[in-house]
């Protein structure tokens, strides 16, 4: 197997097998203060499924180049990339440059598979070694930008400069200020005719690390454990392999994801990636930290970017990006799902929020019902339904309840927005401040469609517990945590509660079928969510 000019056939890469759909390697950063700790980490990295270990010798205390490098290279269970990163390029080393370069030369002589040298001193290093490079060793020449991601032209010029040094592998790492920055790196990776490591750092750059496999990058980095990273935004090896099915990503893999801000809490990647794998669908589902829905949609216009879920705060903005909107979504004024039609590339928006939430609430009401109402009549019919929030989720809940025959009250911090939504569903509007003293009739339903109570502010709640005793049923769209403060206090006050996870599951069934055209593996989706809440 080859990757550009770099042969991998001689390397002991444990995970390359016939089942892989890409040749992108997973490299585990090894960062410890002692050689023994590094060897333990390398063993763990191999167990987790890494292909290469990046040995960060700049983290070692009392580094003895010959002894330590020989031990790490000869006894390490993985092919080694030796990095001795100076402080001026984001590393730990703050000593003599000549000594640093001598150590890298020694690493080559001792049998390292790769060494990393920074572009700033690459020419100096090549002059220093005077062409004495073992054939086996590949030199990565790297550039790290911790401030931004330059233009395509500037990144392209940078790549040419790196190539001109004689680099075997080009490495460019930039920083994402916006998720659209990744597109420029994808362009470079896909079009450069030499092996490339192209990564965008930070949470907004996560997609560059996962989709490295789609665009043909030489490697991506995966940490041994969460939070212990060599650069911002690194996923774990476990997440790459188990959550994102990294080995199965190919050039033709379709990209899906949840567009939101924040989005790190979302369980959707767990559900959809497991479901895609279960049915053999060639897709990847990512958390997409988006600041502007319009910028994201216009930037990623390729047919391979095939569909999205929308969450707070982009449900209404997402609708404006659609070429066509389902009548129900248009009526609600917000979408929760967008599909790119394969025939013409047009974007169609749907709203399945109301389906997920209303179905869950109806099921809970039906369980407790004994009024002899005919099965064809919704248990919501005639009920007073108080929706908190007038954003995308609030609109969906208000519309869904109205369609089922409920009488709707909209409570919102801004009265004008509450009034606007209430008028569309023939309902009443109140402010959030008035909600505390609002004394509804018996059997009233309360539905939270705001982010109040979401991690990390899990102690926040909409109402004092005393006010919750007036409600027969309380629903919370927040599902991280599953049992929010609102739901816990409502349960203690005697109300029936409905978890936000039920809404998420019902949405997932519908969206999966829209994304794939296949029946949703419902029990699998339920099982995955149950294991992760």
Closest CA to 528 of 241, 215, 221, 274: 274
What is the CB neighbour count within 10 angstroms for residue 231?
18
383 as an active site residue: the answer is no
- Tell me which of 315, 348, 383, 404 is the catalytic residue: 315
Q: 120-126 — which CB contacts under 8 Å span 24+ positions?
A: 120/88, 120/89, 121/97, 122/162, 122/165, 122/167, 123/165, 125/101, 126/165, 126/166
* Phi, psi dihedral angles at 255 (to 5 degrees): -105, 130
| Catalytic-role residue among 116, 353, 383, 395 | 353
| CB contact at 8 A, 200 and 185 | yes
Q: Is 70 exposed, middle or buried (0-12, 13-18, 19+ CB in 10 A)?
A: middle
213 token code pair: 């496999």
Q: Is 315 a catalytic residue?
A: yes
Q: What DSSP state is assigned to residue 88?
A: G
Q: Which spans in 253-292 are helix H? A: 268-279
Q: Is 353 a catalytic residue?
A: yes
332-364 burial, b if ≥16 CB within 10 A, otherwise e? bbbbbbbbbeeeeeebbbbbbbbbbbbbbbbeb
Q: What is the enclosing helix (H) or strand (E) of 69?
A: helix 65-75
Compute the distance between CA of residue 301 and CA of residue 298 in angstroms, rounded to an integer. 6
55 beta partners: 30, 82
**C-alpha separations of 78 from 13, 63, 186, 236, 292 in Å:** 8, 21, 28, 17, 42
Q: Residue 78 and residue 510: Cα distance in Å, rounded?
A: 44
C-beta of residue 60 within 8 angstroms of C-beta of residue 73 = no
- Closest alpha carbon to 78 in 189, 222, 228: 222
Look-up of token digits 């869950």? 360
Q: Cβ distance 223 to 234 under 8 Å?
A: yes
Task: Pick the catalytic residue from 138, 171, 348, 470.
Answer: 171
Token pair recorded at residue 132: 């004495």
Give me the catalytic one of 46, 144, 254, 348.
144
Q: For residue 256, what is the enclosing H or E element? A: strand 254-260
Q: Would you call 314 a catalytic residue per the annotation?
A: no
Which are the catalytic amino acids? 144, 171, 315, 353
């Amino acid at each position: 197997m080859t990757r550009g000019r770099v042969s991998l056939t001689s390397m002991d890469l444990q995970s390359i097998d016939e089942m892989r759909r890409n040749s992108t390697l997973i490299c585990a950063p090894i960062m410890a203060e002692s050689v023994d700790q590094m060897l333990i980490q390398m063993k763990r990295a191999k167990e987790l499924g890494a292909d290469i270990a990046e040995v960060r010798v700049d983290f070692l205390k009392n580094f003895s180049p010959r002894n330590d490098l020989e031990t790490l290279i000869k006894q390490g269970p993985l092919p080694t990339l030796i990095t001795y990163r100076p402080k001026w390029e984001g590393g730990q080393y703050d000593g003599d440059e000549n000594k640093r370069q001598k150590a890298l030369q020694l690493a080559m002589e001792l049998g390292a598979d790769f060494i990393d040298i920074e572009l700033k001193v690459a020419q100096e290093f090549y002059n220093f070694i005077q062409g004495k490079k073992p054939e086996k060793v590949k030199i990565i020449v790297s550039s790290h930008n911790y401030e931004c991601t330059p233009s395509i032209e500037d990144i392209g010029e940078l790549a040419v400069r790196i190539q001109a040094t004689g680099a075997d592998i080009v490495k460019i790492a930039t920083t994402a200020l916006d998720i659209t920055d990744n597109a420029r790196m994808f362009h470079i990776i896909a079009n450069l005719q030499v092996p490339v490591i192209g990564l965008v750092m930070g949470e907004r750059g996560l997609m560059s690390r996962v989709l490295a496999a789609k665009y043909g990058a030489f490697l991506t980095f995966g940490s041994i454990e969460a939070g212990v990273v060599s650069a911002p935004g690194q996923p774990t090896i476990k997440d790459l392999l188990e959550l994102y099915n990294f080995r199965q990503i190919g050039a033709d893999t379709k990209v899906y994801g949840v567009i939101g801000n924040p989005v790190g809490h979302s369980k959707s990647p767990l559900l959809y990636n497991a479901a895609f794998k279960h049915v053999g669908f060639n897709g990847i589902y990512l958390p997409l930290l988006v600041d502007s829905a319009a910028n994201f949609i216009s930037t990623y216009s390729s047919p391979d970017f095939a569909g999205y879920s929308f969450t707070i705060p982009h449900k209404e903005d997402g609708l404006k990006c659609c070429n066509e909107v389902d009548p129900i979504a248009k009526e609600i004024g917000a979408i929760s799902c967008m599909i790119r039609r394969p025939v013409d590339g047009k974007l169609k928006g749907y709203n399945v929020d109301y389906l997920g939430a209303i179905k869950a609430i109806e099921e809970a009401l039906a369980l407790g019902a004994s009024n002899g109402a005919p099965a064809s009549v919704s248990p919501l019919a005639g009920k007073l339904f108080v929706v908190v929030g007038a954003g995308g989720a609030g609109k969906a809940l208000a519309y869904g309840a109205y369609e089922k025959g409920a009488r709707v009250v909209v409570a919102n911090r801004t009265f004008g927005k509450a009034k606007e939504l209430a008028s569309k569903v023939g309902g009443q509007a109140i402010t959030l401040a008035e909600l505390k003293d609002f004394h509804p009739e018996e059997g009233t339903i309360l539905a939270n469609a705001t982010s109040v109570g979401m991690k990390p502010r899990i102690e926040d709640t909409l109402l004092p517990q005393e006010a919750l005793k007036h409600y027969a049923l309380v629903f919370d769209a927040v599902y991280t945590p599953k049992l929010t403060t609102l739901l816990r206090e409502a349960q203690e006050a005697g109300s029936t509660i409905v978890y936000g996870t039920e809404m998420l599951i019902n949405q997932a069934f519908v969206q999966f079928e829209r994304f794939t055209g296949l029946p949703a593996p419902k029990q699998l989706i339920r099982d995955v969510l149950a294991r992760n809440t």
